[in-house]
């Protein structure tokens, strides 16, 4: 038995990362491909939007994103592994990966998607939820979706979608947890069928 290598996480594990840290890291890694691609696009956009001698582009109210930030984040995110589990089994410094992903991924998300703000509609919201919410058990998920996505889902819906393969649990022990954005996708799918 070892303890998890993530700084300040001392949970016991047989791997280099504990289950919670694997789930957290996977949640961060989920977005890295999209972010790397979008950062490349953002850099082009910035190059176009930037007037000679003028300030940067960006949404009003957000701090102007620097082209250099986008380039650095792109380079850093490219160094991250694809999935957490391989790190947890093979990398004695897996905790450092999570530590850096916790810093880089939110920075990239803010640069690409802008700061978290009001919910506009369900489709936009689903994308947003994907960025901000970790997997959670049903009991936590339902009120969370009610508050943050303004939709009412029951635990029966969740069970039904899981049974029909529309939804996959991230973790099954000690209780099933689900990605909120995947629950929203299942909700969209089933609504379309009615």
Q: What is the DSSP string of 2-24?
A: EE--STT---EESSSS-HHHHHH
Residue among 4 and 42 whose Cβ is closer to Zn ion:
4
Least distance (Å) between residue 11 CB and Zn ion:
5
- Interior/surface letters 138-157, b for 16+ CB within 10 angstroms, e for the rest: beebbeebeebbeeebeeeb
What distance in Å separates the CA atoms of residue 59 and residue 56, rounded to the nearest whole number?
Answer: 10
Least distance (Å) between residue 59 CB and Zn ion:
35
Residue among 17 and 133 whose Cβ is closer to Zn ion:
17
Strands 177-178 and 136-137: antiparallel
Residue among 26 and 69 whose Cβ is closer to Zn ion:
26
Residue among 9 and 49 whose Cβ is closer to Zn ion:
9
Least distance (Å) between residue 9 CB and Zn ion:
3
- Contact residues for Zn ion, defined by CB under 5 A: 4, 6, 9, 11, 18, 21
SS3 93: coil
Least distance (Å) between residue 8 CB and Zn ion:
9
């Amino acid at each position: 038995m070892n303890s998890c290598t993530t700084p300040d996480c001392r949970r016991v594990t047989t791997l280099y990362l504990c289950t919670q840290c694997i789930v957290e890291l996977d949640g961060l890694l989920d977005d890295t491909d999209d972010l790397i691609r979008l950062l490349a696009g953002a850099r082009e956009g910035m190059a176009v939007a930037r007037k000679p001698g003028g300030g940067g582009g960006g949404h009003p109210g957000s701090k102007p994103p620097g082209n250099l930030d986008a380039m650095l984040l792109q380079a850093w995110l490219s160094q991250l592994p694809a999935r957490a589990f391989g790190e947890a089994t093979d990398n004695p410094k897996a905790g450092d990966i999570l530590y850096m992903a916790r810093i880089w991924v939110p920075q990239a998300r803010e640069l690409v998607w802008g700061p978290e703000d009001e919910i506009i509609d369900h489709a936009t919201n689903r994308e947003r939820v994907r960025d901000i919410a970790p997997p959670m058990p049903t009991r936590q998920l339902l009120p969370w979706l009610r508050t943050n996505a303004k939709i009412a889902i029951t635990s029966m819906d969740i069970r039904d979608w899981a049974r029909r393969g529309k939804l996959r649990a991230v973790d099954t022990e000690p209780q099933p947890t689900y990605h909120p954005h995947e629950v929203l996708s299942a909700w969209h799918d089933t609504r379309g069928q009615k």
